[in-house]
Amino acid sequence: MQEHSSKVRPTDLKPHRSLFERLTAFISPEPENRAELLEVLTDAQERNLIDADALAMIEGVFQVSDLSARDIMIPRSQMDVVDISTPIEEWMPQVLSTAHSRFPAIDGDQDRVVGILLAKDLLRYYAEEAFDVRDMLRPVVYIPESKRLNVLLRDFRANRNHIAMVVDEYGGIAGLITIEDVLEQIVGDIDDEYDFDEEEDNIFALENKGNGKRWRVKGLTDLDQFNEVLGTNLPGSDVESIGDFVSRHLGKVPHKGDEFQIGTLHFEVLRADAREVQILQVEQRPWTTVDEQA
């Protein structure tokens, strides 16, 4: 009886690790979760192995999977739309002044978005005698408020779409979101020649929740402006912006989700990178009594 010889395939062999490698892995195990991985990356940045911009983008990639459309959408009250039920001459100045590349087109009702108008298509208005703006409209993409940004970004890329209307649980328009809004979560603000850092855009009043008022505040908002608009008196002779104030109060660069309360103001960090606070939500809670910690 002949004995069959078995051959060992290369794929059956495990890579040999030296004693030093095994000891290193035992003493310093690999990160087991996202928080540990970020700690490793932060340590690498502090030792100048990667720069702050690279770390901020990596953190942005992680945040994209945690955020949903409602977190970064442009609220309905702040949308720039064109009403095609009115003559084009009435809303053309708005198109020129806002200088967006795309506009939701409504037909007399803010909840009735009938298409997306590309600003470049309006060039035909000056070249064609028989111009019908309705023929220029592109299809509308609707998404729920709960849609995750990583899924939305994949859809934007797959469908070559740049803008989507966000709808609430009742099917009404809650706001809009663009591919630029999503990408800014990863690479930071994308400024172009039409972006203006106007102070009046730094603080947005949100719909009241219960008995308290709410605001969405840019981290770069001047602390004096913050105090003036909200009627507060946060001290900060050595800080310039509300983002700097929050960082100083927490004793670190805040991360998304960090929360704290000063007096009757409840602060929540909505967006931040490795360098600074970008967006805060501030809520007035008059029914809660908390000693000031500033």
Q: Quick check: is 236 in a domain?
A: yes
Inform me whether the pLDDT recorded for 289 exceeds 70.
Answer: no
* DSSP code per residue over 225-278: HHHHHHT-----TT--BHHHHHHHHHTS---TT-EEEETTEEEEEEEE-SS-EE
Instruction: Name the residue range of residue 222's domain.
Output: 199-284
Q: Quick check: is 276 in a domain?
A: yes
Residue 172 sits in the same domain as residue 76: yes
Q: Quick check: is 173 in a domain?
A: yes
> Mean pLDDT throughout 224-249?
88
Task: State the number of CA atoms in the 13 A half-sphere of 22 facing the CB.
Answer: 5
CATH code for position 211: 3.30.465.10
Q: Quick check: is 291 in a domain?
A: no
Domain boundary among 126, 155, 187: 187
Beta bridge partners of 216: 204, 281
Q: Residue 5's pLDDT is what?
A: 47
Domain boundary among 161, 187, 213: 187
Q: Quick check: is 85 in a domain?
A: yes
Residue 213 sits in the same domain as residue 136: no
**pTM flag (> 0.85):** no
Domain boundary among 167, 187, 207: 187
CATH code for position 175: 3.10.580.10
How many structural domains does the chain have? 2
Inform me whether the pLDDT recorded for 113 exceeds 80.
Answer: yes
Q: Quick check: is 62 in a domain?
A: no
**How many CB atoms sit inside 10 A of residue 26's CB?**
8
> Mean pLDDT throughout 147-160?
91
Residue 161 sits in the same domain as residue 248: no
Angle at alpha carbon of residue 149, lines to 62 and 197, rounded to 5°:
90
Residue of 50 and 147 predicted with greater confidence: 147
Phi, psi of 192 (to 5 degrees): -135, -175
pLDDT in tens, 237-255: 788 899 999 988 888 878 7
Q: Quick check: is 131 in a domain?
A: yes
